[in-house]
Structure 1
């Protein structure tokens, strides 16, 4: 794997066992399930002197009787964590998901660095907003339509089929390649638009781009504004190349076009870390197309083909960039107001 200057990886080769610069720092890993990813993260934070514990957002609450800030994070008592790493948010009703995202917003408002924060996650989870923001930022991405009208969606399908193209129908919220359907002309005719009931009455359509033979796409992990590792996902379930759908992971050269496009995509959504899915652009080899951007990215498949310790790179970026920046900001506020530091720092440690 080659790393360009634009995609240089953080230095994670130092002797982390002797690193005590972050001693006493407490991290909440927000997740609805524990396993390989959370185990790697806890180990990485522990090696850097920080304590990390897993917390389910469903167990957190807003409680205005809870002094001093009205926000309860289990395991932290009446204090707040120094930083939060968002590893997973469980699905649920609209109200449940709204509350969980509201807690992330509340943590940010309380001065806690949230990695990735609720605003960025909301943009990446909603594929229509992802497409809009990528387009607005000039990031190459396939033509996309998001509508509630079945009639309009059918017209899009007819126009694309008449031009010899196909479209992919995707759930607006979804991941790991579930629920994708490729639509277009079949046996000389045009199949009708399928029912949108399984898609919650929303048609998110993206122009289909073939991934070559054998079919593949790229997954690039962006951390702190730098592309740090890439892989090719080959094969899988027909034309769907997700690792969860059986695709094989191969190391990929992280060349300048791939790295720069992935970094631009993550920046367009305001993500601290992101898994960016790209595919070759048939019209311009120097501008790969961004298919999706994952704001709660898994990296187990990618870790299997790169020597870089990705959990360590994530921990370093959270501690040395996001948390350090927050502390510098609080120090500047303190100096500008001539108030004691304890008055500007959120109550974290009893």
Structure 2
């Protein structure tokens, strides 16, 4: 039986769903952490050693998580993914896709370069310039969102609503990422998550937050929605702009009724989505990986 590695430090529900989907296709999936991998460039048969795969490389690698750490550690984890791909192991999503999406500055740049609607964004090093931008936006009646360049699930995000909020405006390790806050259409707080697999939107949901942060991890509720044409077109275009095998694309409909892309996730969770839609997301993902990269008929 051919073996797949799932890179994760917390398999949980998502890991189990993937294992079941691979098993249904006749593959064994095993978990490994990128922290346990190593490069061994001493003429050994395997230049990349993956825990549990000491005798041969996996048939493919499914990336469910890249651990945090120092710059050197994160670069090393991505080096492992790059190396596996160069050795002919399909990596889903690959290191390039993860690099483009985990860096919010590059994500914003690529979305803007592709002509896709997103929020006005500034990424810079100088604190005085960051303060000047924030003050100008507040004077024009706009709120701002301050985010760490790297992060997920709403960690470290703050909304700047008034001049006194500027007192605690700090960069994340010296870099300021500021984004104009988008007021959503309708009552309360909500946004939309569209799950894209190989250029196809397979499911969508609305997340209703208890505050302006709509993350499921922070208590947002989920509800299924119809995938209207504009929503699908924008989500697919966003995933294509970042060259991803699969993506969770987050969008907000603003007060003028226009959708704007706010984030593109290369390692998206789908438990909340799975609870409100009919599609089995893990099966979609596994079928796509096996068919496109391993030539399996699905």
TM-score, length of structure 1 as denominator length: 0.81
Provide runs of 4+ in structure 1 moved above 4 Å.
none
State the match for 1:209 in structure 2. Answer: 182
State the match for 1:295 in structure 2. Answer: 266
State the match for 1:58 in structure 2. Answer: 35
| Residues 170-228 of structure 1 deviation map (CA, whole Å, 9 limit, x = unaligned) | 1111111111111133xxx554252425x212110111001241210001111111111
Deviation at 1:89, TM superposition (A): 1.2
Taking only aligned residues, the RMSD between alpha carbons, in angstroms, comes to 1.5
* More strand, by proportion: 2
Matches within 5 A, 1:318-333: 318-324=289-295
Asked if 1 retains the 8 angstrom alpha-carbon contact of 2:196 and 2:247, the reply is: yes
State the match for 1:314 in structure 2. Answer: 285
Give the whole-Å Cα distance in 2 for the aligned partners of 1:264 and 1:322: 22
Matches within 5 A, 1:125-204: 125-185=102-162, 191-196=165-170, 199-204=172-177
Give the whole-Å Cα distance in 2 for the aligned partners of 1:116 and 1:222: 12
Q: 5+ residue gaps in structure 1?
A: 1-23, 326-350
Q: 5+ residue gaps in structure 2?
A: none
Matches within 5 A, 1:242-257: 242-257=215-230
Asked if 1 retains the 8 angstrom alpha-carbon contact of 2:119 and 2:179, the reply is: yes
Give the whole-Å Cα distance in 2 for the aligned partners of 1:66 and 1:223: 38
Asked if 2 retains the 8 angstrom alpha-carbon contact of 1:67 and 1:78, the reply is: no
The correspondence for 1:274, drawn from 247, 250, 258, is 247
The correspondence for 1:220, drawn from 188, 194, 207, is 194
Deviation at 1:25, TM superposition (A): 2.8
Give the whole-Å Cα distance in 2 for the aligned partners of 1:317 and 1:235: 32
Q: Which protein shows a greater Rg? A: 1
TM-score, length of structure 2 as denominator length: 0.95
Give the whole-Å Cα distance in 2 for the aligned partners of 1:109 and 1:282: 46
State the match for 1:17 in structure 2. Answer: none
Higher mean alpha-carbon deviation, 79-88 vs 57-66, is at 57-66
Deviation at 1:259, TM superposition (A): 0.8
In the alignment, is residue 32 of structure 1 matched against residue 9 of structure 2?
Answer: yes
The structure, 1 or 2, with the larger RCO (C-alpha pairs under 8 Å, 6+ apart) is: 1
